[in-house]
Amino acid sequence: MKFAIAVFSPAHAPSSRRALRYAEAVLACGHEIARLFFYQDGVHSASANVVTPQDELDVSGQWHAFIAANQLDAVVCIAAALRRGVLDEAEANRYQRQAVNLPKPWELSGLGQLHEAAQLADRLVCFGGD
């Protein structure tokens, strides 16, 4: 079965951790993740500038390691990212900003990628948001 997973909460929120554990379970059960889509405050999970206190889980770092290790398609909504100061090199140059805080394997793209993922997958599962 193919899953598309959308994350609407930042890494420090419990729903982001639940989304990560769900994604890990999906792969552990032999299923496929068509795309991970980070939207609204979920884009903060992709920021290289997230610093987690020593007594907390580094969910942002865990997301990064999970995506890289499994070579997953991880898309960050460009409009939500720009609004929250999460920039890759191209957007930092475009808007003449000094900070680049969106490392590979994350990719900026539009909301259409979520729609496409929902069409490609058998299930769309969303975590977080109001």
CATH number at residue 23: 3.40.1260.10
Which pLDDT band, with edges at 50, 70 and 90, does 129 fall under?
A: confident
User: CA geometry: angle at 126 spanning 123 and 130, to 5°?
Assistant: 150
Specify whether the CB–CB gap between 67 and 103 falls below 8 A. no
pLDDT at 63 over 60: yes
Q: How many domains does the chain contain in total?
A: 1
Please say if 29 is a catalytic residue. Answer: no
Q: Which domain holds residue 39?
A: 2-127
Mean per-residue pLDDT of the chain: 96
Provide the whole-model pTM.
0.95
pLDDT digits (tens, 9 = 90+) for 78-104: 999 999 999 999 999 999 999 899 999
One DSSP character per residue, 54-101 reads: TTS--HHHHHHHHHHHHT--EEEEHHHHHHTT---HHHHHHTT-S---
Q: Of these residues, 77, 80, 86, 121, which one is catalytic? A: 77
Residue type, 69: A
Specify whether the CB–CB gap between 110 and 79 falls below 8 A. yes
Residue with tokens 């929120």: 13
